[in-house]
Amino acid sequence: MVSATVARNIAGIFGNVISLFLFLSPIPTFMKIYKMKKVEEYKADPYLATVLNCALWVFYGLPIVHPDSLLVITINATGLAIELFYLAIFFYFSPTPRKMKVGLWLIGEMVFVGIVATCTLLLFHTHNQRSSFVGIICVIFVSLMYIAPLTIMSKVIKTKSVKYMPFSLSLANFLNGVIWVIYALIKFDLFILIGNGLGTVSGIVQLIIYACYYKTTPKDDEEEENVSKANSQLQLSGNHGQAKRVSA
């Protein structure tokens, strides 16, 4: 019979794979930016938010905060590297004012994570205290990140078209949430459970909306640029890896 530890590791590995897919989903957007040599109206906000999210979850998974969370570290560290690469491309092709904005936000995020780390290590002295403090902060940011997909879902309902909400990303968000919920339940982790529970609910709602409006979507109405922007917002919801993705 498979032990709880093995089952948890299997769930975590599957979660890493699905979360990686979500992290890589914006590649078409950045290929387009690279070809155009400019960012046009694309925004760095989703990637800046994901960088902060991943950095916090990496810290949460460290042995000094929450032991036995290697798979939380692997996916969020990977996601952090990928998002920083996206931002490097965005930064390179942005006009000076937007470069300054991205740079200042990144500096602000580093300072914030540094403050969280310092407070955690100086003010709390047990794993339970440290994981609770950092976990609460992570859940707060994960919850805020789910605001982005809500705007896309409302747009789908308003336009009666799912062209702004790709099925593959909606399904991946749902599966990502489910896998990490299982991971969190095998060896109970309240914070990973909450973050990915929200992701599961968000994924279910997206799939229901997709089923309701798929048939009313104009087959000949393809606005690829808008779809790419929508992908960025949907990708944002899935990246807590938490490993969410995630929020794990």
- Burial class from Cβ neighbours inside 10 Å (0-12, 13-18, 19+) for residue 91 reads middle
pLDDT tens profile 223-244: 554 555 555 555 555 545 554 4
180 contacts 243 by C-beta, under 8 angstroms: yes
* Six-digit token string for 12: 């975590």
> What pLDDT does residue 243 have?
42
Pairwise CA distance, residues 78 & 141, whole Å: 19
Q: Which residue has the higher pLDDT, 128 or 40?
A: 128
Q: Kindly tell me if the per-residue pLDDT of 216 is higher than 90.
A: no
> What pLDDT does residue 231 have?
53
81 contacts 107 by C-beta, under 8 angstroms: no
* Six-digit token string for 147: 């605001």
Q: Which residue has the higher pLDDT, 103 or 234?
A: 103
> What pLDDT does residue 244 have?
45
pLDDT tens profile 64-77: 999 999 999 999 99
Per-residue pLDDT averaged across 148-173, rounded? Answer: 81
Q: What is the 3-state secondary structure (H, E, C) of the chain?
A: CCCHHHHHHHHHHHHHHHHHHHHHCCHHHHHHHHHHCCCCCCCCHHHHHHHHHHHHHHHHHCCCCCCCCHHHHHHHHHHHHHHHHHHHHHHHCCCHHHHHHHHHHHHHHHHHHHHHHHHHHHHCCCHHHHHHHHHHHHHHHHHHHCHHHHHHHHHHHHHCCCCCCCHHHHHHHHHHHHHHHHHHHHCCCHHHHHHHHHHHHHHHHHHHHHHHHCCCCCCCCCCHHHHHHHHHHHHHHHCCEECCECCC
The widest CA-to-CA distance across the chain, in whole angstroms, is 60
- Percent of the chain at pLDDT exceeding 90: 58
Ranges 122-131, 159-168, 169-178, 195-204: which has the least confidence: 159-168
Q: What is the pTM of this model?
A: 0.85
Tokens 């042995």, residue located: 63
Q: Can you name the residues that pair with 115 across neighbouring β-strands? A: none
Instruction: Give the phi and the psi of residue 177 in degrees, each rounded to 5.
Output: -65, -45
Pairwise CA distance, residues 246 & 248, whole Å: 4
Query: Which residue, among 56, 17, 28, has the nearest Cα to 172 in the 3D structure?
Result: 17
Q: Which residues of 121-141 are buried (b: 16+ CB within 10 A; e: fewer)?
A: eeebeeeeebbbbbbebbbeb
What does the mean pLDDT of the chain come to?
Answer: 86
Cα distances from 246 to residues 18, 81, 157, 158, in angstroms, run 10, 14, 27, 30
